[in-house]
Structure 1
Amino acid sequence: MTVEYAASANHAVIAGAPETKVTGMSHGEVASAFADLSRAFSSFREANDARLDALETRLAGDPVIEEKVARIDRAVDEAKSRLERLVLDGRRPVLGGAGPVADPVIDEHKGAFDAYVRGGETAGLKALEAKALSAGSGPDGGYLTPASVEREVLARLGAISPLRGLASVRLISGASYKGAVTKTAPVTGWVSETANRPQTNSPVLEELDFPALELYALPAATQTLLDDAVVNIEEWLVSEIETAFAEQESKAFVVGTGTGQPKGVLSYATVGHDAWSWGKLGATVTGVSAGFPASNPADVLIDLIYSLKASYRQNAAFLLNRKTQSAVRKLKDTDGHYVWQPPATADQAASLFSFPVVESEDMPDIGANSLSVAFGDFRRGYLIVDRAGVRVLRDPYSAKPYVLFYTTKRVGGGVQDFDAIKLLKFGTVAASG
């Protein structure tokens, strides 16, 4: 059985998870950060216009102007990062806040888990898992966290893991997700009421098989911290593992090899659009190794956009890292307008040709034959598989006087629709792999 939960370009929404909005206490800071970003980008436009004017009138650029543009560009990045951080902090739900009516089973699990984490008492969790007809430790080791911890982990990962916020996510109970997708649509046609109905070709199906692989974190605590009754153990555990999980899975979703980890978007073979076939991703080339073309450089981004079918463009977004975004920020269209624009409101993303820009530091810098820009409908194109359950194994022995908590979750992923994602290659040949 699989359960799908929604994801957007900004954060994942999980059924039953508390609503995540910017809190009233942070409105002033968010407004200030948004104003700083707007002012920084306005200054950047002026400085970059001066740089372009200097290039038109001189054989080489003015180093003073170049340094000024680079400095203001860094200020734009810093203002943008500050705004995103404030919005993200406001979106993080508070664990243990107002929720559904108390459930004795849930409360029993939370109490037993708290006793295990603080003092190593296992009797309560063993009794609960025996009631559920499961072994105390099982093949994964450790004990299942309360459902509130798992929901919180998934919610926060959806907010801070770039590709998870864009992709489809399914929750499964088994070791892997198996499904089928249609590689080619069935042949159809129009006929009159009394005309013969010729037999149509059957669709060609492809099996998807995404195993859920183990991702772990190893937070540590002092016994003094664990003995402090005021400390919310669930909140502490979530805050300790969220960044570790997000960093590891974010990298895997982009460049993962598929061996012992999910297969990332950039690990699939690429091919020119005219030779595209299922199992490969179409790539647009810049025609220049490690750079944009000197003349009309933004045109390759337009080519990339329109290499994607219209049905996918409706919900498409750009995925690139900060350095690539800095290079794109300097580009103009043929009418002299900057193609990159800052967010229209504090809770929106920056845009490129009106499409959202999502920043992932795991995307490569611009280099020879680098695949530094991805564009597509990632919700239809990439599938993330989460196996239900987050497990914790308490270890008070390996790093005395600290107590280690070996925390694991199982996650997999890969491309599910090869027509929904396109790549920009900074080279002259599209094919690879």
Structure 2
Amino acid sequence: MTRQMTTVAPEVKAVPETMTAAFEDFMQAFEAFKDANDQRLGEIEHKLVADVVTRDKVERINKAVDEQSRLLDQLALKKLRPALGRSGQATVDDTERKAAFEAYIRRGDEAGLRELEAKALQSGVAGDGGYLVPEETDSEIGRRLSVVSPIRALATVRQVSGAVLKKPFAPAGMASGWVAETAARPQTGTPELAELSFPTMELYAMPAATQGLLDDAAVDIEAWISSEVDIAFAEQEGAAFVAGDGINKPKGFLAYDTVADGAWEWGKIGYKPTGTAGGFAASGPSDILIDTVYALKAGHRQNAHFVMNRKTQGAIRKFKDADGNYLWQPPGGVGQPASLIGFPVTEAEDMPDVAANALAIAFGDFRAGYLVVDRTGVRVLRDPYSAKPYVLFYTTKRVGGGVQNFEAIKLVKFAAG
């Protein structure tokens, strides 16, 4: 007999004041979703079709769960943004440089920065102009990017001082063997090395301010620049790390050649097909997730994450195992990720939606599989002329990225084969 429902679809509330309150709202929404979806599955079992009202209710609550999850993410982002400046007492040089940089930003006064560069016998001016921001601002932008850009948070990040990072890699591994303690050591075969190249590309943002804002001594200029730039940078790099074509931007892991996992070879990323174009298989729809997990080697599986967008996660949230347990589970606590068959789920809105031949789900050890390259230094060029009466701040950062281990990432392709 179908269980009668008394649960009302949760209303998406305003942003709660605390992470704990947001997490409680999220869990309440998920419990309502499970009740409604259980009713839908019960109707299908007894009537072979779900009532239209029930289906609409499930979708409505599923969207509410997504909204509550989004609110939780916003609060987590806000909480993880530290105040500018380093702990402890600033040195005289730090204080002097910060004051000189602020004078340049507010009034265009370059004298202080030029004097500091003369003392240090080095130049902070790039070929296209501009000054290096103080260390506090530079590291602040980097921290915020790691929170907002999901792939950056999963990947290995390397700092370089040049334009390109070149990394040797042995696709077949190093040759080795067993030998007795006093026996001669035969020479091993020469390993085949591949050189992976990761050039850094220029990422820019151009926030604008009125002179009145800059003249207001109560405004924290460094905090303002960071808040204006970090979201813009994160959105651009987040998209590039997923699907960037490598032309004047990093190369995303979806931009590499893909091949059915049974025919995988170095330089390509293997995928598992769902068996149905544009959707999951009608029978055993969650089997493809299990197949993808075990397509990855055990060493990479230990650190693996699922990566998908919110819409795909909403579809998977309805799946159950043979014992009636939901495969998707909510976070175990505040600040923790949701999980899918025991593995963390990372939401990346730049992942494609489920569609015919779409690579909508990725699973892998992104720490081993994807490399983000940051060139040290963020530069700011003050431009009071191009958009009068506004002052533009041309802010640049050089970033690169690409796959460094092609066997550490697997994809799910929504195709017949």
TM-score by length of 2: 0.93
Q: Which deviates more from structure 2 when the two are superposed, residues 353-362 or residues 31-40? A: 31-40
* 1:70 paired residue number: 59
Rounded Cα–Cα distance in structure 2 between residues aligned with 1:362 and 1:195? 57
Does the CA-based 8 Å contact 1:296-1:333 persist in structure 2?
no
Rounded Cα–Cα distance in structure 1 between residues aligned with 2:309 and 2:124? 43
* 1:22 paired residue number: none
Q: Which amino acid aligns with 2:299?
A: S
1:122 Cα offset (Å) = 1.1
Rounded Cα–Cα distance in structure 2 between residues aligned with 1:182 and 1:129? 43
Aligned mate of 2:87, from 78, 89, 99: 99
Q: Which amino acid aligns with 2:79?
A: G
Q: Is 2:374 the counterpart of 1:355?
A: no
Q: Which deviates more from structure 2 when the two are superposed, residues 123-132 or residues 181-190? A: 123-132
Does the CA-based 8 Å contact 1:130-1:136 persist in structure 2?
no
Does the CA-based 8 Å contact 2:306-2:344 persist in structure 1?
yes
- String of CA shifts for 1:114-133, please: whole Å, max 9, x gaps: 00100011122223334444
1:131–1:183 CA distance, 2 compared to 1 (3 A)? farther
Say which SS state the counterpart of residue 192 (structure 1) adopts: coil
Q: Which deviates more from structure 2 when the two are superposed, residues 34-43 or residues 364-373? A: 34-43
Q: Is 2:228 the counterpart of 1:249?
A: no
Q: Which amino acid aligns with 1:156?
A: R
Q: Which amino acid aligns with 2:291?
A: D
1:135 Cα offset (Å) = 4.3
Q: Which amino acid aligns with 1:87?
A: A
Q: Which amino acid aligns with 1:50?
A: Q
Q: Is 2:181 the counterpart of 1:181?
A: no
Rounded Cα–Cα distance in structure 2 between residues aligned with 1:340 and 1:285? 20
Aligned ranges for residues 261-340 of structure 1 at < 5 Å?
A: 261-340=249-328
1:198 Cα offset (Å) = 3.5
- String of CA shifts for 1:338-372, please: whole Å, max 9, x gaps: 11000000110000011110101000000010000
- String of CA shifts for 1:294-334, please: whole Å, max 9, x gaps: 11111100001110000001111011000000011011122
Aligned ranges for residues 4-403 of structure 1 at < 5 Å?
A: 29-96=18-85, 99-135=87-123, 137-403=125-391
Q: Matched residue pairs, number?
A: 403
1:52–1:178 CA distance, 2 compared to 1 (3 A)? same
Say which SS state the counterpart of residue 204 (structure 1) adopts: coil
- String of CA shifts for 1:133-182, please: whole Å, max 9, x gaps: 44463224211100111100000000111000000001111111111122
Q: Which deviates more from structure 2 when the two are superposed, residues 328-337 or residues 380-389? A: 328-337
1:411 Cα offset (Å) = 0.2
Does the CA-based 8 Å contact 1:296-1:334 persist in structure 2?
no
1:276–1:398 CA distance, 2 compared to 1 (3 A)? same
Rounded Cα–Cα distance in structure 2 between residues aligned with 1:132 and 1:254? 40
Q: Which amino acid aligns with 2:356?
A: A
Does the CA-based 8 Å contact 1:252-1:263 persist in structure 2?
yes
Does the CA-based 8 Å contact 1:308-1:376 persist in structure 2?
yes
1:27 Cα offset (Å) = 10
1:376 Cα offset (Å) = 0.6
Does the CA-based 8 Å contact 2:124-2:132 persist in structure 1?
no
Rounded Cα–Cα distance in structure 2 between residues aligned with 1:69 and 1:339? 17
- String of CA shifts for 1:86-113, please: whole Å, max 9, x gaps: 12211110113x6133222222211111
Q: Is 2:409 the counterpart of 1:424?
A: no
Q: Which amino acid aligns with 1:82?
A: L
Rounded Cα–Cα distance in structure 2 between residues aligned with 1:408 and 1:48? 48
Say which SS state the counterpart of residue 385 (structure 1) adopts: strand
Rounded Cα–Cα distance in structure 2 between residues aligned with 1:267 and 1:380? 18
Rounded Cα–Cα distance in structure 1 between residues aligned with 2:150 and 2:317? 20
| Alignment RMSD (CA, Å) | 1.6
* 1:11 paired residue number: none
1:201 Cα offset (Å) = 2.0
Rounded Cα–Cα distance in structure 2 between residues aligned with 1:329 and 1:202? 49
Does the CA-based 8 Å contact 1:284-1:300 persist in structure 2?
yes
- String of CA shifts for 1:190-234, please: whole Å, max 9, x gaps: 233344543322322111211111000010111111001111110
Does the CA-based 8 Å contact 2:16-2:22 persist in structure 1?
no
Say which SS state the counterpart of residue 284 (structure 2) adopts: coil
Q: Which amino acid aligns with 1:234?
A: E
Rounded Cα–Cα distance in structure 2 between residues aligned with 1:79 and 1:136? 45
Does the CA-based 8 Å contact 1:223-1:402 persist in structure 2?
yes
Q: Which amino acid aligns with 2:84?
A: L
Rounded Cα–Cα distance in structure 2 between residues aligned with 1:74 and 1:139? 49
Q: Which deviates more from structure 2 when the two are superposed, residues 341-350 or residues 43-52? A: 43-52
